[in-house]
């Protein structure tokens, strides 16, 4: 009997069940052998695996003697991201392209340099001829991250210098991918909507005079219209998601894969596979879905005790996805505040007023305040827990009318600027393949002849 592709047969189920014991590792052994699970020590501090010039994540000292207890700070190339955003606001300009320039080249551009760089991005933005028909429209999927990864790998075939890892060529590939990611992501959604949901197919070519944030809204919406506040908040989201150190899962993936000497398309596709995971880039969708469930199950959004009870049920695996998590709360480094969430919050409130969704914003703010209290009570965590950048980003995307399927691709559209900078840094500075050690704990056994093996 032939089975359909992707079908889990009874034989596969049996083999999987039989193999489980051979994979399980006693958790006590991690302590016994001092293994840093997830490359983090018992206090949650990351194991230093490399050096980077690209960004710095810090927790300010408070003087109370408690580690990681102050406000969080994030620096792009040594410049406080809060100051970067304040400069964009003060001068009323879109800042993501400028942020990309800073990450790639290590300095803020002059007016002339920025104008030239924006023109370069516009020139590289057009996807290859027939790429929409031959790649994006073929076998569309409901997960845009897979389509985006497929598109990146397909671009390898269109590049005559795909395997050239000289810095000028990698920089050229990086700039092309940075400027094409918004186009590939939005087109992937339109193809899926048309083929799987029966929607109308409309394709807006990006405009060279628009910023990346403006082009995303223009290409996504059938009428191509958007407000200035919408575009500026999306631009801000791109700036805040652009980079977050070499140790986050997807960026570390770029370092690991790049250290093998492979091509740019393979390295970025690997990073996309990492970012797709719900523990990484997919977290903003989980936050939005959690709030959907909360709004259905909490009758009075202003009742603190009712909201607290729902949060307790989340932690006790009695609500939403029963994972025992309050999504959007907590971070590996930040405990008192995530600077990205802090910057974002004021703009989120402005957008919620424009969209008539102030009550929802008030609920988010209430959860942001109450969740640390509930987590401290239920989990006995005293170092502090704060809202991270994912807490508000899904709400923002929903208010902008961005479909859930594009939440993580938007994260990738921003973060590829950081990935590209880290790839170039790895290629310039490292001549060793990244290869951490795993301790083998399997007992030694004698080989047994076939006739003596038991079923």
Nearest C-alpha neighbor of 40 from the set 435, 329, 332: 332
Tell me if residue 41 is catalytic: no
Query: How far apart, in Å, are the Cα atoms of 393 and each of 225, 400, 421?
Result: 21, 11, 24
Query: How far, CA to CA in Å, does 259 sit from each of 181, 239, 256, 294, 364?
Result: 23, 27, 5, 44, 41
Q: What is the rounded distance in angstroms from the CA atom of residue 352 to the CA atom of residue 395?
A: 9
Residue 390 is a catalytic residue = yes
Kindly tell me the burial class for residue 428, based on how many C-beta atoms sit within 10 Å of its own C-beta (0-12, 13-18, 19 or more): exposed
Please say whether the beta carbons of 74 and 340 come within 8 A: yes
- Beta bridge partners, 80, equal 75
Task: List alpha helices for 79-199, DSSP H.
Answer: 81-90, 96-105, 111-124, 131, 144-155, 167-197
Closest CA to 218 of 186, 194, 242: 186
Identify any residues that bridge with 46 across adjacent strands, giving them in sequence order. 40
Catalytic residue among 331, 422, 449, 455: 331
List all residues 6 or more positions away from 68 whose beta carbon is below 8 Å from its beta carbon. 44, 59, 333, 334, 335, 383, 384
Question: Which helix (H) or strand (E) is 59 found in, with range?
Answer: strand 55-59
Half-sphere exposure of 100 (CA within 13 A, CB side): 28
Q: Which of 390, 404, 422, 455 is catalytic?
A: 390
CA–CA distance, 328 with 330 (Å, rounded to integer): 7
Q: Is the dihedral of CA 260, 264, 267, 269 positive or negative?
A: negative
**Count of residues for the chain?**
455
Contacts of 115 (CB under 8 A, 6+ apart): none
Q: What angle do CA 41, 43, 45 make, to 5 degrees?
A: 60
Q: How far apart are CA 34 and CA 213, in angstroms?
A: 46
Enzyme catalytic residues: 331, 390
């Amino acid at each position: 009997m032939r089975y359909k592709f992707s079908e889990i047969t009874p034989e596969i189920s049996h083999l999987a069940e039989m193999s489980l014991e051979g994979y399980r590792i006693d958790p006590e052994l991690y302590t016994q052998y001092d293994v840093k699970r997830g490359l983090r020590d018992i206090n949650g501090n990351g194991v230093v695996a490399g050096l980077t010039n690209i960004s710095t994540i810090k927790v300010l000292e408070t003087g109370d003697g408690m580690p990681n207890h102050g406000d969080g700070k994030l620096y792009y190339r040594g410049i406080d991201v809060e100051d970067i955003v304040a400069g964009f606001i003060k001068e009323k300009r879109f800042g993501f392209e400028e942020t990309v320039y800073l990450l790639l080249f290590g300095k803020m551009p002059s007016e002339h340099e920025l104008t030239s760089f924006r023109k370069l991005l516009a020139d590289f933005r057009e996807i290859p001829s027939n790429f929409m028909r031959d790649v994006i429209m073929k076998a569309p999927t409901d997960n845009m991250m897979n389509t985006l990864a497929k598109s990146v790998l397909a671009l390898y075939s269109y590049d005559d210098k795909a395997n050239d890892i000289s810095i000028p060529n990698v920089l050229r590939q990086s700039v092309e991918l940075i400027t094409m990611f918004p186009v590939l992501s939005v087109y992937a959604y339109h193809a899926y909507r048309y083929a799987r949901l029966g929607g109308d197919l409309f394709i807006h070519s990006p405009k060279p005079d628009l910023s990346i944030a403006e082009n995303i809204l223009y290409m996504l919406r059938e009428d191509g219209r958007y407000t200035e506040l919408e575009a500026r908040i999306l631009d801000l989201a791109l700036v805040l998601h652009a980079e977050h150190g070499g140790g986050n899962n997807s960026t570390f993936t770029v370092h690991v894969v790049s250290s093998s000497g492979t091509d740019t398309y393979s390295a970025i596709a690997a990073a996309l596979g990492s970012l797709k995971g719900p523990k990484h880039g997919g977290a903003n969708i989980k936050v939005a879905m959690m709030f959907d469930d909360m709004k259905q199950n909490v009758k009075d959004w202003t009742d603190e005790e009712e909201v607290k009870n729902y949060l307790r049920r989340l932690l006790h695996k009695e609500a939403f996805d029963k994972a025992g998590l309050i999504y959007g709360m907590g971070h590996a480094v930040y405990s008192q505040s995530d600077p990205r969430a802090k910057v974002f919050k004021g703009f989120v409130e402005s957008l919620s007023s424009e969209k008539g969704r102030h009550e929802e914003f008030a609920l988010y703010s209430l959860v942001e305040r109450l969740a640390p209290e509930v987590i401290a009570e239920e989990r006995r965590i005293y170092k502090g827990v704060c809202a991270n950048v994912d807490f508000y980003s899904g709400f923002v995307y929903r208010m902008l009318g961005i479909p859930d399927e594009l939440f993580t691709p938007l994260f990738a559209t921003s973060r590829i600027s950081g990935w590209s900078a880290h790839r170039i840094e790895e290629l310039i500075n490292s001549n060793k393949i990244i290869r951490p050690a795993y301790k083998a704990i399997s007992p030694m056994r004698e080989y047994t002849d076939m006739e003596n093996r038991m079923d």
